[in-house]
Amino acid sequence: MTRTKKAKTRPLNPRHHWWRRQKKKETKTHLVWKCRKCGNIETIVRGPGWLKPDMAYCTVLHRSALAAKAEKEIKERSKEDRIFAMAMKKYPSIVGQAVGSIDMTVFDKLDGSNIRAEWSMKRGFYKFGTRNRMIDQTDTHLGKAVLLVKEKYGPALTEIFKAKAKRAPMFQRGVVCFFEFFGPRSFAGQHAKDDRHDVVLFDISPNKAGILPPKDFLKLTKGLHIPDVLYKGRIGKEFIDSVRNSTLEGMTFEGVVCKAANPNRRVTSHPLMFKVKSNAWIEKLRENCDGDTELFERLK
């Protein structure tokens, strides 16, 4: 009598594709639910994890119920919440020290408030903000800047950006422009309501490309109102002293901003920048701060 060997059974491996296929079949079942809106009862064959609680609506009668609910919630949010929900690129703080080893382009520094405005191919200038918050044309203090940007630069920059987008894809993704909002009596971000204010474009940043180097900025904005270029070349002690003593020809009260293309663009795409302020402006700021050292250092 011959004895037959009993076949060995291998344990099921959860990672085996056959096991996965069988478990998938087992989990499929008939799900029945009642529509939250009309009470209609529907049945569908799906895995238990497929149906989420928020999806318990009739697929035919009320398929847009969730979209309508979301739209209603957005409308009910306050205007302030909607404004702050929008994100936009901020202008970097200029904290660099003087660089004398490369040629710099020196721009006059206008004394006012930093205004950022985002432009898109379809909507033009549609989003605005200061350095730290979003604004619109109804803003009590800076709403005037929104209208000035649209009226003064809207058509011209739209024409420039659309022409540039045909050759440079980075302009197709949107552009953030930076302006200075100021008036005759503006000082350290404070403005007189009855002044005649203006905005001046001082930097451009295509989306995901960083701020344009000064050479590219000047070429792109030819014919537009931008801060005056006061000097090109190496920066030395004599030049810095002329700014601090307010003797540099063409400069206004606050000082200058010096810019150059960044030689190491792999680290950052922003140009090299540093600012020099006049002693007269710093002394006036010290008087206005009235001994508040923290405020003085922040505005300086």
200-215, pLDDT tens digit by residue?
999 999 987 889 999 9
Q: What is the pLDDT of residue 56?
A: 47
Q: What is the pLDDT of residue 195?
A: 93
Greater confidence, 28 or 138? 138
User: What is the overall mean pLDDT for the chain?
Assistant: 79
Q: How many Å is the Cα radius of gyration of the chain?
A: 31
Asked which of 46-50, 76-80, 110-114 is least confident by mean pLDDT, the reply is: 46-50
Q: What is the pLDDT of residue 294?
A: 87
CATH number of 104-299: 3.30.470.30
Q: What is the pLDDT of residue 81?
A: 46
| Share of residues in the chain with pLDDT > 70 (%) | 69
Cα 272 to Cα 104: distance, rounded to the nearest angstrom: 9
Q: Is 231 helix (H, G, I), strand (E, B) or coil?
A: strand
Q: How confident is the model at residue 187 (pLDDT cuts 50, 70, 90)?
A: very high
Q: Which two tokens stand for residue 221?
A: 């904005």
> Could you tell me the sign of the dihedral formed by the alpha carbons of 35, 41, 45, 48, in that order?
positive
Q: Which two tokens stand for residue 99?
A: 């660089």
Q: What is the pLDDT of residue 63?
A: 44
Q: What is the pLDDT of residue 84?
A: 46
Q: Which two tokens stand for residue 48?
A: 């238990």
What lies within 8 Å, CB to CB, of 257 at 6+ separation is: 94, 106, 107, 108, 109, 202, 227, 273, 274, 275
Cα 215 to Cα 38: distance, rounded to the nearest angstrom: 65
Q: DSSP string covering 6-74, please?
A: PPPPPPPPTTSHHHHHHHHHHH-EEEEEE-TTT--EEEEEE-TTT--GGG-S-TTTSTTHHHHHHHHHH
pTM as predicted: 0.71
Q: Are 40 and 58 in contact (CB under 8 A)?
A: yes
Q: What is the pLDDT of residue 53?
A: 42
Q: What is the pLDDT of residue 93?
A: 83
Residue 100 CB neighbours (<10 A): 11
Q: Is 96 helix (H, G, I), strand (E, B) or coil?
A: coil
Q: Which two tokens stand for residue 13?
A: 């491996």
Q: How confident is the model at residue 118 (pLDDT cuts 50, 70, 90)?
A: very high
Q: What is the pLDDT of residue 142?
A: 93
Most confident of 23-32, 63-72, 221-230: 221-230
- Report the pLDDT averaged over residues 273-288: 94
Q: Are 129 and 88 in contact (CB under 8 A)?
A: yes
Q: Is pLDDT above 90 for 21?
A: no
Domain parsing of the chain, residue ranges: 17-76, 104-299
Q: How confident is the model at residue 170 (pLDDT cuts 50, 70, 90)?
A: confident
Closest CA to 163 of 240, 211, 208, 222: 222
Q: Is pLDDT above 60 for 99?
A: yes
Q: Are 176 and 200 in contact (CB under 8 A)?
A: no
Asked which of 9-13, 65-69, 82-86, 113-117 is least confident by mean pLDDT, the reply is: 82-86
Q: What is the pLDDT of residue 62?
A: 47
- Report the pLDDT averaged over residues 258-262: 91
Q: What is the pLDDT of residue 112?
A: 94
